[in-house]
Amino acid sequence: MKRKELNIEFIRVFAIFMVVMIHVSNIYINSFSKISALHFNTAVVFNSLSRICVPLFFMVSGIFLINKEFDLKSYYKRVLKFVFLLIFWSVIYFLHNNDFKLNNFGKALANSFFNADKTSRHLWFMYAIIGIYIALPFIQNMCKNMSRELENLFLILWFSFSGLIVIFVPLIRYITKTDVDITYPIPIINSAYYLGYFIIGHILYERFKCISPTAKKNLLCVGTYLISVFISIIVTCFFTAKTNEIYEPMTWYRGIFIAIAACAVFILIVINKDKFKSNAILTFSHRSFGIYLLHMLFLNHITENINVLEFNPLISIPLLTLVVYALSFIASFILSKIPIIKNLV
């Protein structure tokens, strides 16, 4: 894509807002034993509606990067930039979690590239995207030389081995009361599920970018998204109530229903490209990465000073999401105007 396509940029804006909503709703979900079933289920609804965010980010990256011509200088620059950003923000979050003390800096640096649990878990995305950037030249060559038949085969295999298994194995365990497991990592297909989204984003974009929307197509996309999310919500709430433990498989990003929902929304936005005309989208899109990096600082600070669980999640989750998103956007925007710091957000 040589020019900015506002519908694709909107996907970034939409997805990062949902990232914030997931982390806000997780406050309630992770407090399952401390809140009512109604509040838990409400949080599951918001969480499930938002789970397409990470797939969408990988899919957008696939659009931009797979068709680019390989340049060795740009390759090294991109990888080294993101490695540096990962280390920098890991150190920031480690120091934030352990107080800004000089004697903690060595520990922060040691943990910055090896242990996201001690920095901030949301930084896992950086590890994943850096891995894709490292392998990008080989991914590009593979995808550019795939026929439509091979693309279809990839879609079938990825949805089957990555999407279906992760959903049905836990169900089999529950039904049979056994510890049965199916672990057979197939290279490219399911050894890294996010690579699948990266490739699928490229495939779907190329196939749907010239298709015009109709009311029927739009309704099909919206209906597919809502039905997929509804199934995730029902199964999660049902098995959580039955086992008295949080049932997580339906909210895993690689799950078949999350994948179908993400593809439906992605196609909906791609075919409706003419509906996105406001250049304000670019302003928010350019700050998406900064919002991703910063938002947990604001969310952590708020939850350290306010007991969010005292409020009804039906109101508090969307409200807190808006507040954290707005604060992160403002901070990212301000930092982007400072010469030395602007490349860090």
E strand or H helix at 24: helix 6-29
Q: Is the pLDDT of residue 215 over 50?
A: yes
Read off the pLDDT of each residue in 38-50 and give the average, rounded to a whole number.
97
> Which pLDDT score, from 0 to 100, does residue 1 have?
44
- d(CA 21, CA 1) in angstroms, rounded, equals 29
> Which pLDDT score, from 0 to 100, does residue 2 have?
44
More reliable by pLDDT, 31 or 94: 31
110-114, 237-241, 263-267: which range is least confident on average?
110-114
Its pTM surpasses 0.85: yes
- d(CA 239, CA 171) in angstroms, rounded, equals 9
Neighbour-count burial for 96-109, b at 16+ CB within 10 Å, e otherwise:
beeeeeeeeeeebe
Q: What are phi and psi of 211, to 5 degrees?
A: -90, 135
Residue 279 buriedness (CB in 10 A; 0-12 / 13-18 / 19+): exposed
Structure tokens at 185: 């990592």
145-149, 183-187, 206-210: which range is least confident on average?
183-187
Structure tokens at 334: 């301000």
Neighbour-count burial for 210-228, b at 16+ CB within 10 Å, e otherwise:
eeebeeebeeebeebbeeb
Read off the pLDDT of each residue in 304-314 and give the average, rounded to a whole number.
93
- Confidence band of 15 (pLDDT split at 50, 70, 90): very high
Cα of 198 vs its chain's centroid, Å: 12
Q: Is the pLDDT of residue 170 over 50?
A: yes
Q: Mind listing the pLDDT tens digit for each residue in 174-185? A: 777 777 666 667
71-75, 112-116, 224-228, 330-334: which range is least confident on average?
112-116
Q: Work out the mean pLDDT of the chain and round it to a whole number.
A: 89
Q: Is the pLDDT of residue 189 over 80?
A: no
- d(CA 38, CA 44) in angstroms, rounded, equals 10
Q: How far is the CA of 140 from the CAs of 80, 98, 133, 137, 146, in angstroms?
A: 19, 41, 10, 5, 10
- Confidence band of 104 (pLDDT split at 50, 70, 90): low
Nearest CA to 188 out of 138, 121, 129, 246 is that of 138
41-55, 108-122, 157-171: which range is least confident on average?
108-122
Q: Mind listing the pLDDT tens digit for each residue in 266-295? A: 999 999 999 998 889 999 999 999 999 999
Q: Is the pLDDT of residue 101 over 60?
A: no
